[in-house]
Amino acid sequence: MRTVIQILLVIAAVVLSYFIYQSIQRPIQFEKAKEARYEATVAKLKDIRKAELAYKNIYGQFTGSWDTLINFILHDSLRNVKAIGELTDSMIEAKITEKKAIQMGLIIRDTIRESVLESLFGKNYDANSLKYVPAPGEPTEFHLAQTIITTGSGIKVPVFEAKAHNNVILRGLDEQLIINLNDQLRTNEKYPGLKVGSITETNNNAGNWE
């Protein structure tokens, strides 16, 4: 009987040690996976911001349509100034301005048009994937929105916002730890996920990770 009890105690000790180990590793593994998912999502949000800012530079406002933004990347173009040469000390001493140097042919400033895709991302970039949150499972689009905010002085300011909730970004990870993370962020009055831009604040194109 004593031998049986000893064996049972050993088994109980092993099981207890396993659960203690798991309880320690669980948040560590979650945090590691979360950071990898966040890094990939932030990269996408930075690309979205880059595309939106380029779109606004041409059309004067942002877009809340994925079809419009992706079509812009694939089929529109940007003006780029090709610069050859610059003012030298001798030109400055001779009181030659850049405008005059251009007229004299000493400096070349040539405006060329380049596709948005190649200019911003490179020709091999998959623009059609831009709208999807980089998370496993069913493809899920980032929430994309734009509006115009009228300031107190009557100035109309275009704004945009792109975001993804933690429930999507961290899909498939420990559900309780996701709930805990979301509750903590809400308690601190922060968005429970990742976002860039804001449709409630003017001149805020920052990401909430920055």
pLDDT for position 135: 94
- 160-186: b (≥16 Cβ within 10 Å) or e: bbbbbbbebbbbebbeebbeebbeeee
Q: Strands, DSSP E only, in 75-199?
A: 77-84, 108-115, 143-150, 156-165, 193-197
pLDDT for position 25: 63
Alpha-helix runs per DSSP H in the chain? 2-59, 66-75, 89-93, 98-103, 116, 166-169, 175-187
| End-to-end Cα distance, the chain | 64
Positive or negative, the Cα torsion across 125, 131, 133, 138? negative
Mapping DSSP to helix (H, G, I), strand (E, B) and coil, where does residue 117 land?
helix
pLDDT tens series, the chain, 210 aa = 666 666 656 666 556 665 565 566 688 899 999 999 999 999 999 999 999 999 999 999 999 999 999 999 999 988 766 667 777 777 777 777 877 777 777 677 766 778 999 989 998 999 999 999 999 999 999 999 999 999 888 899 999 999 999 999 999 999 999 999 999 999 999 999 999 999 999 888 999 999
pLDDT for position 32: 94
pLDDT for position 143: 98
